[in-house]
Amino acid sequence: MMKKTLILATSLLVAFSSLAEAQDRYQNRPPVIISPDLTAPWVTQLGGSVQPVVYRQQRAIDVQGERATRKQYLFQRRVKRSGTAVAQPVAMTRAQKPAQRQLDPRFLPQTVAYETQERPGTIVIDTNSRFLYLVTGNGQARRYGVGVGKPGFEWAGVHKVTRKSEWPVWTPPSEMIAREATKGHYLPASMEGGPANPLGARAMYLGSTLYRIHGTNAPWTIGFAVSSGCIRMRNEDVVDLYERVKIGTKVLVI
């Protein structure tokens, strides 16, 4: 009987000792340190500084006004450069809207070889290739990327620059107002010039038509057929062209 008691006591002592050791290891275990995001190793290789963050499980106190006592939410503890800690739900860190497309480098202004019989100072717009050429002579031209008329609004012809305007007022034609209204888009009768104005920083009006060469507040549309017939340019590009062009300049659209 005494032998059985000693064996049982020894077994219980070993079991309690193992349990205590396991609990001690669990309680003293250091927090898991991981990078703020999966790109951190690459940032480190590029010389960037990456601060570690700690992911823990916390019990949510209140969600949308209702107390949650049995649910746990994974929170990301993000340490700002200032040292202030901010807790954010992981599900809330996604981008609010997709990033806009970057401009293809080939649509940036550049001097190119361009053989033409047009005189220096003439503007030639190739709507198929989405390029505007300002002829400079000696077989060269300054080339800009442009946005052109969408299907059904293409046109070609020869005109002259009859007016120039800085930060022009936009007055949508009645046809455009009616057309957009059928799509549920209601345009203003007029809009003062400014960064939000669809005509952008500058406009050069072509003859007695409704068409213009103008800037845009949507530079990612350059290189596409997107307008109602006008020729769009990035604001910085249209400002550059505006300074080089005079009233009476010939404009050839092909």
DSSP state of 29: P
Which residue of the set 214, 223, 245, 249 is catalytic? 214
CA distance 203 to 239: 9
CA distance 124 to 11: 95
Q: Using DSSP, state whether 41 is helix, strand or coil.
A: helix
Task: Give the pair of three-digit tokens for residue 12.
Answer: 């219980």
Whether 214 is a known active-site residue: answer yes
Q: Identify any residues that bridge with 111 across adjacent strands, giving them in sequence order.
A: 142
C-alpha neighbours within 13 Å on the C-beta side of residue 111: 5
Whether 73 is a known active-site residue: answer no
Which of 128, 103, 125 minimizes the C-alpha distance to 114?
Answer: 125
Which residue of the set 230, 233, 251, 253 is catalytic? 230
CA distance 213 to 178: 23
Amino acid occupying residue 227: S
What positions carry a catalytic annotation? 214, 230
